[in-house]
Amino acid sequence: MARINENYTRLPGSYLFSDIAKRVSAFTTANPDRSIIRLGIGDVTRPLAPSVISALHQAVAEQAESATFRGYGPELGYDFLRQKIADVHYGRLGVKIETDEIFVSDGAKSDTGNIGDIFAADSTVAVCDPVYPVYVDTNAMAGRAGHYQSSGHWDRILYLPCTQENGFIPEIPGPHVPAPELIYLCFPNNPTGSTISAIDLRDWVDYARRNGSVIFYDAAYEAYITEDLPHSIYEIEGARECAIEFCSFSKTAGFTGIRLGFTVVPKELRIGGVALNSLWARRQSTKFNGASYLTQRAGEAVYSEQGQKEIRETIAYYQDNARVIREGLLAMGWSVFGGKNAPYIWLKTPQNLSSWGFFDLLLNKAGVVGTPGSGFGPAGEGYFRLTAFGSAENTATAIERIRTLF
């Protein structure tokens, strides 16, 4: 008789954003005349840049001719895109990355979820709390998380509290806490919008090197950094020996619908003499057939001089939305975080409302959708996330609705 992976049965409920979608769908069905402003899920609303559209059209035209038709591509990414990533994305930071250390994929979400495949099934894991749910859920699926507790924690995961008191920056575990083998860090952070200084990031790199840990560094939102902060963990000396970095075109260039990202695995990163670069290459070439040629040509256009100019304009648009949300809520006297170097605004729920209680109130009374902080972990209870990815008009309207409600 076939057997299931029982780790899936231990997962609590459904995926956070699926829960939100169900509640919003029920509301719109019951209230078809009510307008909804969605500032919950981090999906973009601006169209793709003209340079990207042009590259897509050109790539489609190539597929119509025998001489330029492309079928299966290289599983790890076309050289034309990997070279652009090395030269432009990392070159602007003064960071040297080789093309064969870059693995092109269909998005950072997939890679952060799949990276665990190349590590031992009983590896110990540390995550921030609150945290992007994919990090926790995929380790639970793999059997690393243990058992789900009534506290909302898994008993084999080390949670690193990120609170207002510590600036939403995780603290290095104390000397009496066994060092986790795998450490997830995300900066600018989803969901809190917090950033990490070079000094604090260096502490984590030094800690990982001392203990033989590997850092999974999710840099999906680095393009939103405006202050003097690290955009890549590889700006920190020694990080090539202990860190894997994940990057995305979704929020940087609006690729949420066409899917593109990349992961960097430095060749210096080894465990017991085994190069993780080779293991990830083996995993990807076996389980993944590569991002489409069309999408990768679009990604290449992002790194053109004109493409960089165009996406900066789009990012500035979302950054202004973040400013409108942040300043509007601060003017109401609320406790608000993030929104400066990140597209996310993290706020303390007013009137001691629970996260889901605030969600229901905003949806039913203001027609505004956000994300309950408790969906990101127990430390997120009493907080709420809004995104800057709506239109400027809807963003301003949403803040006005919230102001009128309170």
Task: State how far the Cα of 65 lies from the Cα of 319, in Å rounded to an integer.
Answer: 41
Stretch 59-87: mean pLDDT: 97
Q: Where in the chain are all domains bearing CATH 3.40.640.10?
A: 54-305
Mean pLDDT, the chain, whole residue set: 96
Confidence of residue 302 (pLDDT cuts 50, 70, 90): very high
CB 157 within 8 A of CB 189: no
236-250 residue pLDDT tens: 999 999 999 999 999
Could you tell me how many helices (H) and strands (E) the chain has, helices first?
Answer: 12, 15
E-assigned strand segments in 147-253: 157-161, 182-186, 214-218, 243-248
Task: State how far the Cα of 279 lies from the Cα of 285, in Å rounded to an integer.
Answer: 10
CATH architecture of the domain with range 12-47+307-405:
Alpha-Beta Complex (3.90)
Stretch 278-284: mean pLDDT: 98
**pTM of the model as a whole:** 0.96
* pLDDT given for residue 268 in this prediction: 97
pLDDT of 91 strictly over 90: yes
Task: State how far the Cα of 106 lies from the Cα of 104, in Å rounded to an integer.
Answer: 7
Q: Is 19 exposed, middle or buried (0-12, 13-18, 19+ CB in 10 A)?
A: middle
* pLDDT given for residue 40 in this prediction: 85
pLDDT of 208 strictly over 80: yes
117-157 residue pLDDT tens: 999 999 999 999 999 999 999 999 999 999 999 999 999 99
pLDDT of 111 strictly over 90: yes
CB 261 within 8 A of CB 245: no
CATH classification number, 54-305, choose in 3.60.15.10, 3.40.640.10, 2.40.50.140, 3.40.50.170: 3.40.640.10
Task: State how far the Cα of 329 lies from the Cα of 321, in Å rounded to an integer.
Answer: 12
**SS3 call for 254:** coil
Concatenated DSSP letters of 217-241? EE-TTGGG--SS--SSGGGSTTGGG
343-392 residue pLDDT tens: 999 999 999 999 999 999 999 999 999 999 999 999 999 999 999 999 99
Q: Where in the chain are all domains bearing CATH 3.90.1150.10?
A: 12-47+307-405
* pLDDT given for residue 13 in this prediction: 74
Stretch 32-56: mean pLDDT: 93
